[in-house]
Every structure is written in C-alpha cells, then in structure tokens.
Amino acid sequence: MAAQPENAGSPPPWSIPPETVREIGQFALRLASAGILVTALIQYSTPMLEVLIARGARNLLALVSSQYYFKTIEFIEGGYVFTSWIGPLRGSFKLPTLLFTFGFPISYALALSGASTLRYWRRLFTVVLISYFVCAIAVAIVCDGRLTTSFMRFDIALQPEWRREFAQSVQYYMWMLTVRLYPVAMLLALALLSGQFRGQRSISRNPAVRALKWSVAGTLTVLLLATAGFDAAATARLTVVEKEPIHNRINGLEELNPDLGPGLAKLANWFIRNGNDRAALNVFRLATPLLKGPARADALSEQIFLREQIKEDMLRKKRRNRE
C-alpha cells in the first residue's frame, strides 16, 4: 500500500482560512450598511452640519486672527460666507468634499464589531469629534486665505507674510489632505486599535498601540475642552468690536501696511462701484486720517457725497412705505 504524502488533505499555503473569509464578508456587509446609514443621515442633516462646521471655523479664526478685521463665517445658501468688519467686505466659497471627509471614517468606525461595549461607542464618538474638527480647520484655513487674498487686491496686508504663505500652501494641498490623507490615516488607526481581523489581544499589548491609544485619548480631551471653551471665548472677543469706535478696526494693520490710507481708499471706491454706499462711507472714514494732500481732500468730499446719497435713499424708502 503506497504511503500518503505528508501534506495530503492540508490547504495550500496561499489559501485564506474560511473563518477569515467569513469575517471579512460580514465586515464588508456592515460597512456597506453603515455607509448607507451615515450617507442618509448626512444628507438629512447637511444644513445643520454645515452650520456647525462654519461655527467651529469661526471660533478657530476668531482666536488666532485680529478681531478688528475678522467678523464671522456663516453657512448661507449652500456656501461658506466670510465677513470682515472693514466695510464690511464679504466673500464665499464651497467645500462639498468635506461631507466625504466627515462621513467615511464614521462609517468605518460604525461598521466595527463590539457595538455592545463602551469602548465601541467611545471610539465612534472620538472619530466623529476629530472628523468635525478636521472639517472646521479646513474651512478656517480656506477662509483665512480667501480673506487675505480679498484685501491684497487693494494692497492691504492683514497678516504677516509667513502666515499668508502657509495658508496658501495648505489650501493648495487641501483636497489631498482632507479627502485622501485624513480618511486613510483614520482607517489605519481604527484597524490597528480595534484588532478587527486577528490578534486583538497581542496587538493591544503592543507599546506602539498603547501609545496611539494615549495619543487619541489626549487629543479627545483637548478637543472636548476646546469645544466647551472656544465658542464663548470667540463670541466675547468678536463682540468687543461692536462697542468700540470704527477707527479701531484698523488696529494693527498700520504695522503691516506703512501706506494704509491709499489701500483703504481703493477699497472704498470698490464699494461705490458695487453700489454699497454705507460700506464705502465706513471705509472712507478709516482712510481719511491716513491720507494727505489732494487724496485727503478727495476722501472728505466723497464722505459728504455719500452721506447725501444715503439720506436721499432713506427718504425715498420712507416715501415708498407711505405710499
């Protein structure tokens, strides 16, 4: 009787164990279901989510920028609208890819096993909070760059050169950072921390994994403290400007702009061309003390003309209302 080979009946070395195949299939099904659920929730709550992202971006910028030129960021009619106190000058932009940045890591965290454990929900909450702040930071950086660029058209620098260059560089790579790098990094971190497919006990004892867990816990703590304190601090800082004289709005700009008057005059004339007489009057009031000679005389005469125009407009509105 011929001897049977030693490896007879054993699976090939390249085969995948049935348990692993079944686990991967179950996870893929949970991931697809979680993706559908999260996408539906995001679509349903998009206006509220965008408003919260805009609020977070406002708070971040309010604490790192001068409250005398930055007023607010809002989500209005499908876009992020930023406003400066100077004028006020406004601009807008859209970042639709942020919803993918927000939703994909959350779908992955939701699809992981262990929904009956506290660790699962703590991990999911951490992913939601970090994803929110990533989106808020992205909006803040784009707003910072757009606001700076808007004033540079009138030869007015709002920030030091290093910060302008930093904002422009980050904006250039923004899509890659938010849509590619962050989701991939978050998925790798979740896969490592969860030990989803094998070796959970041995992986959890790895020093690198323990260090990652402590880092995530520290990040979550900082973000929670920031969430609790940012909004009140940012609001208090911004409301100061409403109670102060209008000329305080250019505080700090003269250091960056030795010849600030002509730039403000350009901005005021731009407002006139766009039919915003009140904004033009506000800016001419700021520019006049910084101008000399004929330029100062022109600014004063423009103020007189604009006041008359505003009075006439108010009278016309009153007549229409009476009729």
Tally of CA atoms within 13 A in the half-sphere of 277 that contains its CB: 13
- Residues in CB range of 212: below 8 A, 6 or more apart: 189, 192, 193
Q: What is the pLDDT of residue 164?
A: 85
The mean predicted confidence, pLDDT, of the chain is 81
C-beta atoms surrounding 87 within 10 Å? 24
pLDDT score recorded for residue 199: 47
Residue 161 has pLDDT above 90, yes or no: no
pLDDT confidence bin for 73, thresholds 50/70/90: very high
Q: Is 226 left (phi over 0), alpha (psi -120 to 50) or beta?
A: alpha
3-class secondary structure, 83 = strand
Q: For residue 88, is the peptide bond before it cis, meaning its omega torsion is within 30 degrees of 0?
A: yes
pLDDT digits (tens, 9 = 90+) for 208-257: 555 655 665 666 666 666 556 677 888 888 888 878 888 888 888 888 89
79-84 and 90-93 strand pairing = antiparallel
Burial of residue 2, with CB atoms counted within 10 A of its CB: 0-12 exposed, 13-18 middle, 19 or more buried: exposed
Q: How confident is the model at residue 265 (pLDDT cuts 50, 70, 90)?
A: very high
CA atoms within 13 A on the CB side of 318: 6
Question: Cα separation of 241 and 256, whole Å?
Answer: 20
pLDDT the model gives residue 10:
55
What pairs with residue 211 in β-bridges? none
Distance CA 126, CA 120 (A): 10
- Please tell me the distance from the alpha carbon of residue 108 to that of residue 224, in angstroms, as a whole number: 22
> Rounded to whole angstroms, how far apart are CA atoms 161 and 165?
6
CB-CB contact of 141 with 167 (8 Å): yes
HSE (side-chain half, CA atoms, 13 Å) at 226: 18
Q: Are 142 and 60 in contact (CB under 8 A)?
A: no
100-133 tens-digit pLDDT: 888 888 888 888 887 888 888 888 888 888 888 8
The answer to whether the beta carbons of residues 53 and 136 sit under 8 Å apart is: yes
| pLDDT for position 26 | 74
The sheet carrying 90-93 orders its strands as 70-76, 79-84, 90-93
Residue 159's pLDDT is 86
Instruction: Output 191 or 108, whichever has higher pLDDT.
Output: 108
* pTM confidence score: 0.79
* Whole-number Å distance between alpha carbons of 142 and 139: 5
The structure tokens 């692993």 sit at: 20
